[in-house]
A = this chain, B = another copy of it.
């Protein structure tokens, strides 16, 4: 396997346009209903997925049902690129989703090799960077800092705009390693101190970006 020189900033918004095109040509568009499983943990990982619309969550279960959400994937993101042969996390549609699916092998045969490798590399790197941030958050941040970090991450686009929260409280809790009740309390608290403002429980606006940043630690 040939890889692009691993030195580029993966956060570049250039979302490999031509890979998307090839995926559209070779792949299948599938629709998943809210909470439908896209692939299971331990399942063979020979497909590549791209979110066309909607949001996807990856997650892992402990034997007794405790759940950890790995990450959320939005429109344009590649996911399901497991490192080994098997999926280590399962993936589910967070809301109704359209997903473009392609077999790795057929893609490899048809697409520009370099292009494909580069896209896979970038998606993997993005996953790793986010995983590293996630580790710091889970290991050493307080409930309030976790929630503040989470809101900041969602609101990357900048303050003042209305941001949609596509996921419910339970998903946020399982992403942050908290309970729904704690998430709810922290959100109420942040709203009470004028840092953010909720129009409804699924939409908010950052009022004090500086304070939010400080709280996220």
Identify A217's interface contact among B62, B125, B126, CB under 8 A: B62
Question: Once bound together, how far apart are the Cα atoms of A67 and B140, in whole Å?
Answer: 7
Contact B121 A88 (CB under 8 A): no
Q: Which B-chain residue is minimally distant from A127 (CB atoms)?
A: B128
Contact A9 B177 (CB under 8 A): no
In the complex, A132 has a CB within 8 A of chain B? yes
B contact residues around A124 at 8 Å (CB): 6, 124-125, 128
Considering only residues 28-71 of chain A, those with a C-beta below 8 Å from chain B are 46, 60, 62-64, 66-68, 70
In the complex, A108 has a CB within 8 A of chain B? yes
Could you mark each residue 148-186 of chain A with 1 if its beta carbon is under 8 Å from any beta carbon of chain B, else 0?
000000000000000000000000001011000000000
Of A17-25, A111-119, A192-200, A201-209, the one contacting chain B is: A111-119
Identify A60's interface contact among B3, B46, B136, CB under 8 A: B136
Contact B136 A1 (CB under 8 A): no
Give chain B nearest CB distance to A178 CB in angstroms. Answer: 9
Question: Once bound together, how far apart are the Cα atoms of A127 and B67, in whole Å?
Answer: 22
Identify A135's interface contact among B7, B10, B68, CB under 8 A: B68
Identify A125's interface contact among B70, B83, B139, B177, CB under 8 A: B83
Contact A2 B135 (CB under 8 A): no
In the complex, A211 has a CB within 8 A of chain B? no
In the complex, A131 has a CB within 8 A of chain B? yes
A140-B177, A177-B139 known; A121 vs B68 contact (CB < 8 Å): no
Question: Once bound together, how far apart are the Cα atoms of A120 and B5, in whole Å?
Answer: 10
Considering only residues 77-116 of chain A, those with a C-beta below 8 Å from chain B are 81, 83-85, 88-89, 104, 108, 113-114
Q: A3-B121, A89-B132 are in contact. List 10 more A-B contacts (CB 8 A).
A: A1-B114, A2-B114, A3-B117, A3-B120, A62-B136, A68-B135, A83-B129, A88-B132, A121-B121, A138-B139
Residues of A within 8 A of B (CB): 1-3, 5-11, 46, 60, 62-64, 66-68, 70, 81, 83-85, 88-89, 104, 108, 113-114, 117-118, 120-121, 124-129, 131-132, 134-136, 138-141, 174, 176-177, 217
